[in-house]
Amino acid sequence: MSRGLYLLSSEPRSGKTLTAVGLMETLSTRIPKLAVFRPVVAEGSDRDPLLAFAADRYGFPFSYEALYGVNHRRALDLINAPGTREELVGLILEKFKDLEARCDFILVVGTGYRSDSLILEFDFNADLANHLGVAVLPVVNGWGKPRERIENAVQGLVETLKEKRSDLLALVVNRVNPEDRDEFQKILNRVDEGSFPVFVLPEHPLLEKPTIRDIARNLKAKRISGDPEAGDGLVQEFKVAAMELPHFLDRLVDGSLVIAPGDRSDIILGTLAADQSPSFPRIAGLLLCGGLEPASQVMRLIDNPAMTHLPVLTVETDTFITALEASRVEPGPVTEDRRKLAAAAGLVESFVDVPSLLGRVAVARPDRITPLMFQHELLERARRETRHIVLPEGQEERILRAAEIILLRKVCRLTLLGKVEAVQQKIAALGLAQPDVPSIDPTVSELRRGFAAVYLEARKHKGISLEMAYDTLADVSYFGTMMVHQGLAEGMVSGAVHTTAHTIRPALEFVKTRPGSRVVSGIFFMCLADRVLVYGDCAVNPEPTAEELADIAVNSARTAAAFGIEPRVAMLSYSTGDSGKGPEVDKVREATRLARLLGPDLRVEGPIQYDAAIDAEVARIKMPQSEVAGRATVFIFPDLNAGNSAYKAVQRAAGALAIGPVLQGLNKPVNDLSRGASVADIVNTIAITAIQAQQT
């Protein structure tokens, strides 16, 4: 289970970064191995300010490159190219999973908003949170908004996240008028009937205004005098000195940045004097324009440390342009100002119940997994204990491309079958990075005669001769299966160009079924948008008996559990409970009884209709007391006709990713591919076979 949360915002200037910094300060005192991750960072040599701050402040034992997914340019290229959005998510997911394995908790800080890229929008961040498998903590900008507008914004955001099936951990409404905070908190506590906490943070004066340092950086100003520490001073207002000194002094307010031409000696001297006088407001700084140097006599006063600590800056632009540009400067990063850092941490500590958040994150979220997450987990699990898989169709392009991915990612070891020279030529022609992958030609292999002897012993009751056995072992499917049977490989994947019968017949002949299994069956992992379900049998048994159906159910539950899916088994029929009669319903009812005997610890329900098995609302009506109804994860169809039709219908109509068939019930793993399998399908099946091999 992942322990982390994803900060995202629905609009610019929401205060997401200051919320992140405040959370980091608090979480760092509670979590030993904390990490911060950003999906996308700016390209270039400069490090992301937030990541650089976090790494330096909290002493992360990770490289900077480990803390982000991709840079903005790479992300932009992928988002704009047809069909590469999934590749972008996959790159980010892999970096995230690598980091996740090395820490206790990850705070993901979503992308900001930039007009040049679709990837920097709310939908991208919300979808990505689902793929990463972490709960979302949205931050809503409350600055200057009336109550009704904030309520509408929050409600709309919640509805959007519900539609996306996001795991909404809590919600932060930031930058609210301090005088309205308590009232807003009471109102927003009622959002969605209080199903999640809402934290309302007031605007903080230290966080809403730019500092002198922010102004200097953005305007590329030169500091000619003043205490460097005074650069942290907040600019409350801009005062352009366009009138004579007496009238100008009357208009000064606390935190004024005085903007004047460099040759206005009267304004400069008056501002310096006002800064020294307790009867005038505090001056934030003096910004001199036009590239004009003050008179030498005035410079002597400015340069006198005893006279003033007031920051004095100069710029080349004229007064109008300077004032315009200065007014556009936004507050700088919280990470650059220790005072802002303290303010952000104080807000979070005062108004966010962090222990409660951590408690909610630590609650397991069964069934919350996206297709990309599931596929990534397959590769990760296969990599933990590498196994040896044989691929009989070594001259098929899709097999070779999948093999390259498997080897580059070190998922498992491989052997290709086929004419060795032809295999190597095909690899070279495709330009694949796997020239040294082992290849065996069954027709000339020294192993063939020994394999034939083993096959003869297993099949002599069928009246075959040694010569017949020797001829049979020239077939790549038989040779590959015999490698698995004899322990020279630990699993086999075939079927890209061969039929299902051709692939699994050898296994049925001499690998045989596992003790306790009646039949070999085939399940599909159906990867929906937010969960993975198991469908069986969709590949092998046309009309299973009640006993075989029970066996398929128990094996499917075991397969689900082996791949991290909590098994809740639905024995499907056209009738639910006791509502229907007839031979087909009776068969499912008997199969349910037998499945409970075979797997007394399993949660099994049947007969049950599909809608009652998957939909909680329907389940409340049809089977309110059931532990499985409405929450099923393993769906057992009454026959192959129903199962095969259903998985294809869901695959096409719901846009689900169907991984399989995965054969179960054999002593050793042998898996069949669809002849229309894509490279990704083959990669997934190889990984599944390697995981099955870990368990035999």
pLDDT classification of 368: cutoffs 50, 70, 90: low
pLDDT of residue 223: 86
pLDDT tops 60 at residue 323? yes
Over residues 415-429, mean pLDDT: 86
**One-character DSSP codes across 364-404:** --TT---HHHHHHHHHHHHHHT--EEEES-TT-HHHHHHHH
pLDDT of residue 426: 81
pLDDT tens per residue, range 205-236: 777 788 888 899 899 999 888 766 556 677 88
pLDDT tops 80 at residue 500? yes
Question: Which region, left, alpha or beta, applies to residue 482 given φ > 0 means left and ψ of -120 to 50 means alpha?
Answer: alpha
pLDDT classification of 42: cutoffs 50, 70, 90: confident
pLDDT: is 117 or 288 the higher one?
288
pLDDT tops 80 at residue 244? yes
**Cα-Cα-Cα-Cα dihedral sign, residues 91, 92, 97, 100:** positive
pLDDT tops 80 at residue 365? no
Which superfamily is assigned to 4-206+339-350 in CATH? P-loop containing nucleotide triphosphate hydrolases (3.40.50.300)
Q: At what angle do helices 85-100 and 122-132 cross, to 10 degrees?
A: 50
**Domain 210-330 adopts which CATH fold?**
3.40.1390
pLDDT classification of 436: cutoffs 50, 70, 90: confident
Pairing state between β 657-664 and 521-527: antiparallel
pLDDT tens per residue, range 573-615: 999 988 778 889 999 999 999 999 999 999 999 899 999 999 9
pLDDT tops 80 at residue 305? no
Identical fold, 210-330 and 514-665 = no
pLDDT tens per residue, range 671-691: 999 888 888 899 999 999 999
Residue 342's H or E segment, with its range, is helix 338-351
Give yes or no for a contact between 257 and 239, defined as CB atoms under 8 angstroms apart.
yes
Biggest CA–CA distance in the chain, Å, is: 118
Residue 36 burial by Cβ neighbours in a 10 Å radius (0-12, 13-18, 19+): buried
Chosen CATH of 514-665 out of 3.40.50.2000, 3.40.50.300, 3.40.630.10, 3.40.50.10750? 3.40.50.10750
pLDDT of residue 26: 78
pLDDT tops 70 at residue 306? no
**One-character DSSP codes across 47-87:** PPHHHHHHHHHHT-SS-GGGGEEEEHHHHHHHHHSTT-HHH
Over residues 303-332, mean pLDDT: 84
- What phi and psi values does residue 414 have, to the nearest 5 degrees? -130, 150
pLDDT tops 80 at residue 367? no
pLDDT of residue 384: 86
Buried b (16+ CB within 10 A) or exposed e, 164-201: bbbbbbbbbbbbbeeebbeebbebbeebeeeebbbbbb
Q: How far, in Å, CA of 556 to CA of 562, rounded?
A: 10
pLDDT tops 90 at residue 296? no
**Can you give the residue ranges of every domain in the chain?**
4-206+339-350, 210-330, 369-512+667-696, 514-665
pLDDT classification of 525: cutoffs 50, 70, 90: very high
Q: How far, in Å, CA of 257 to CA of 286, rounded?
A: 6
pLDDT tops 60 at residue 130? yes
Chosen CATH of 369-512+667-696 out of 3.40.50.10950, 1.20.120.140, 3.40.50.2000, 3.40.30.10? 3.40.50.10950
Q: At what angle do helices 85-100 and 72-80 cross, to 10 degrees?
A: 140
Q: How far, in Å, CA of 255 to CA of 275, rounded?
A: 11
pLDDT tops 80 at residue 507? yes
pLDDT classification of 84: cutoffs 50, 70, 90: confident
**Cα-Cα-Cα-Cα dihedral sign, residues 150, 156, 159, 163:** negative
pLDDT tens per residue, range 613-669: 999 999 999 999 899 999 999 999 999 999 999 999 999 888 888 998 999 999 999
Q: How far, in Å, CA of 428 to CA of 425, rounded?
A: 5
pLDDT of residue 259: 93
Q: Residue 694 CB: number of other CB atoms within 10 A?
A: 17
pLDDT: is 276 or 475 the higher one?
475
pLDDT of residue 435: 62
